[in-house]
Amino acid sequence: MSHDGLSNDIASTQRLHELRRHFFAKSAAGLGSIALASMLSRQARGEVMEQELLKRVPGILDQPHHTPKAKRVIYLFQSGGPSQLDLFDYKPALKAQHGQPLPDSVRNGQRLTGMSGNQAILPLAQSTFQFEQHGQSGAWVSDALPYTAKIADKLCFIKSMYTQAINHDPAITFLQTGSEMAGRPSIGAWMSYGLGTDNENLPAFVVLVTKDKSGQPLYQRLWGSGFLPSRYQGVQLRAGAEPVLYLNDPDGVSRMQRRNMLDLTGDLDRYQQTATLDPGIEERIAQYEMAYRLQSSIPEVNNLSDEPQHVLDLYGEDVKKPGSFAANCLLARRLIERGVRFVQLFHQDWDHHGGLPGALRNECKNTDQPSAGLVADLAQRGLLEDTLVVWGGEFGRTNYCQGKLTATDYGRDHHPRCFTMWLAGGGVKPGISYGETDEFGYNVTHNPVHVHDLHATILHLLGVDHERLNYLFQGRRFRLTDVHGVVQHQLING
């Protein structure tokens, strides 16, 4: 996108990169010498300008704003909103007052969804899961997550997350883009835009969705680039024969034939370049070569056959099932090993309005061991140090029962006012539980962490000042954190 000649950092930086691309391409084509003479007279001014620009490059970052603690992120998105009250946020008071109505003094007039908001009573529901403290840190984790419990000392639990949206679509869009409204770039797109990738043969931002799940729908916008150029959008790696859309050569076409064909296309383009004098054509040729390499680098990363059994064991049985959460966790590790900046997994079906005990246990079975296995695997490879792992959904769940409360069964509605997420690695303090909710698990009482704060903190860990990574669009500097967000330094090591 070309921007106005505002004397504006962002426009300038955006423009600078356009120009670079343009001129690198030109020189690579051997056309760089053309008419250089006429341009050199402006060199002096150019030097001054470049220093000005490179000194402060809040757009596409040549280097981070400060020394990063994390180089890459694996975000395990649990879509639908897992119940913090049945996994992490242990509330004995709910047991004591099981079946009693949610006190008005706790609800405090705050809005409920239209699903349970009209119930004649809102009965408090205790968790049917058993809670214990784990590790040196004594973190509370329920028996639904035995593997996670075992690595509790590696994790940083934020028990005081809160958001503003109360329904899935706005809430997940908010967590992914910093806005409830459609049209903004996703967090991965921002990182791709700001930091690029360390491997030119793989996308900077890769998305993995657990296969064959139902539950709350997902949307392209959750990994879209919004108003950023489309090249920053997440590239989905899908289980099955064609992991990246359109990756495979058509039936009957061999690699040699593809090579031969690309050579021909390249020759046509070089002819055209001579005929049109357009230096931009070099860019096309480069992209075609890139596509060719992508066709082999993706299958390589996707091929798990060289993973030893003891590693596979970490992730659990399902790891052999392509597209499972377990397989995706392992794939995520392989991707970041190869320099991908941001890998985001989506696992659906945490929206437990009813039948929670059974359904929650089921999702935990799918995700617990792989999540913990991933952290352990990263740790044993020394990668956890500079890889940030994030686990969590778009909101929490209510302490009262939606629908019928029975001795063994209950459901919980959406609850934006508190939920739990965990972070690991990437410079985050291990073995802490941060923030607190009230005795009913309804409101945050200590150290609230808003979604914008989480975003600011993630960017900070990657060496990015969330206030300075922005993009000029519709006359305004947009950023992931809008005009909010406070870095949570208490969560960060040293």
Partner 1 sequence: MAIAPPCDSFPFQHVIFMQFLLLAKRSLARTFRLLILVCLGMAVAQFLGVGFQGSMALGQAPGELSDNEVTSSIRKLFSDRCFTCHGPDSQTRATELRLDRDDGVQFETSSGKKFAVAGNLSESEVWERIHSTDPDVVMPPPSSKIELSSAQKDLVRIWIERGAVYKAKHWSFEPLPDDVPVPSFSNSNNQNSIDVFVSDTLKAHQLSLLLEADRETLARRASLALTGSLPSIDLLQSFVHDSSPGAYERYVDQLLASPQFGERAATHWLDLARYADTHGYQSDRYRDVWVYRDWVVSAINQDLPMDQFITWQLAGDMLPNPAREQRLATAFNRLHRQNEEGGSTEEEFRVEYMTDRVNTLGTAVMGLTLQCSRCHDHKYDPLKQQEYFQLCDMFDNIDESGLTSYWTDSMPGPTLLLLDNAENQQVETLQQAMQSIRKIYEDEVSRLKGSTKVEEWYSSLAEWPQPEERWLKSDFPMEGVAPLTTLENTVAKDQPGSSEAGAVEVVQDGSRSAVALDGDNALVFPKSGVFSRTQEFTICLDLKIPKVFDRAVVLHRSKSWTDAGSRGYQLLIEDGHFTFGVIHYWPSSAIKIRTKQPVAIQKWMQVALVYGGTNSASDTHIYIDGERAEVEIIQDSLHKDILYERVDVSLSIGARNRDRGVPGGLVDHLQIYDTALTGVELASLATDSPLLTWGELSEQDRMQWTEHYARRVDQNSKYHLESLHHYFESLAKIVQDKRELMVMDETAANHPTRFLNRGAYDSPGDVVAPGVHQALLSDGEAMPKNRLELAKWLTSDHHPLTARVAVNHMWQQMFGRGLVVTSEDFGIQGQLPSHPQLLDYLAVELIRSGWSRKAIMRKIALSQVFRQSSRVDAERRSRDLDGRLLSHFPAQRLSAEQVRDGALQAGNVLSQNLGGPPAYPYQPAGLWEEKSGLKYPQSKGEGLYRRSLYTVWKRTSPPPSMMLFDSAGREVCSARRETTVTSLQALVLMNDPQFVEASRGLALRSLGIQRREDVSESKFTQENLQQAIANSYLLLTSHACPAELQERLLRGVRDQTAFFEAQGDSAAKLLGVGEWKAIEIQEASQQAKLAALTLVVNSIMNSDAFSVMR
Q: Segment 215-274, which members bind partner 1 (CB under 8 A)? A: 216-221, 224, 229-231, 233, 235, 238, 240, 242, 244-254, 256-258, 260-274
Task: Kindly indicate which of the ranges 100-108, 119-127, 141-149, 422-430 contains the residues binding partner 1, using the contact rule CB under 8 A.
Answer: 119-127
Q: In the window 398-417, what residues touch partner 1 (CB under 8 A)?
A: 404, 413-414
Q: Is 114 in the site for partner 1 (CB under 8 A)?
A: yes
Residue burial 405-429, b: 16+ Cβ < 10 Å; e: rest: beeebbbbbbbbbbbbbbbbbbbbe
Give whole-number Cα distances, 332 to 13, 58, 190, 220, 357, in Å.
31, 28, 19, 19, 29
Burial category of 475 from C-beta neighbours within 10 Å (exposed 0-12, middle 13-18, buried 19 and up): exposed
CB of 259 vs partner 1, minimal distance in Å? 8
Q: In the window 469-488, what residues touch partner 1 (CB under 8 A)?
A: 474-476
CB of 434 vs partner 1, minimal distance in Å? 27
Q: Of the two residues 226 and 441, which places its CB atom closer to partner 1 in the complex?
A: 226
d(CA 404, CA 356): 12
Task: Kindly indicate which of the ranges 130-138, 191-199, 326-334, 359-367 contains the residues binding partner 1, using the contact rule CB under 8 A.
Answer: 191-199
Binds partner 1 by CB under 8 A, chosen from 66, 92, 103, 121 = 121
Q: In the window 124-143, what residues touch partner 1 (CB under 8 A)?
A: none
Q: Of the two residues 93 and 115, which places its CB atom closer to partner 1 in the complex?
A: 115
CB of 412 vs partner 1, minimal distance in Å? 13
Q: Is 109 in the site for partner 1 (CB under 8 A)?
A: no
Name the amino acid, one letter, at 133: Q
Q: Of the two residues 269 and 438, which places its CB atom closer to partner 1 in the complex?
A: 269
Q: Using CB under 8 A, count the residues that bind partner 1.
A: 149
* Residue linked to tokens 């696992």: 347
Cα angle at 376 between 373 and 382, to 5 degrees? 140
State the CB neighbour count (10 A cutoff) for residue 205. Answer: 27
* Residue linked to tokens 């940030």: 388
State the CB neighbour count (10 A cutoff) for residue 317. Answer: 12
Q: In the window 62-101, what residues touch partner 1 (CB under 8 A)?
A: 62
Binds partner 1 by CB under 8 A, chosen from 100, 133, 287, 490 = 287
Contact 441, 102 (CB under 8 A): no
The dihedral sign for the CA sequence 433, 434, 437, 438? positive
d(CA 238, CA 216): 19
> Residues 35-54 vs partner 1: string with x where CB under 8 A?
xx-xxxxxxxxxxxxx-xx-
Contact 390, 74 (CB under 8 A): yes
Binds partner 1 by CB under 8 A, chosen from 85, 202, 359, 375 = 202
> Residues 147-166 vs partner 1: string with x where CB under 8 A?
-------------------x
Q: Of the two residues 31 and 486, which places its CB atom closer to partner 1 in the complex?
A: 31
Q: In the window 338-397, what residues touch partner 1 (CB under 8 A)?
A: none
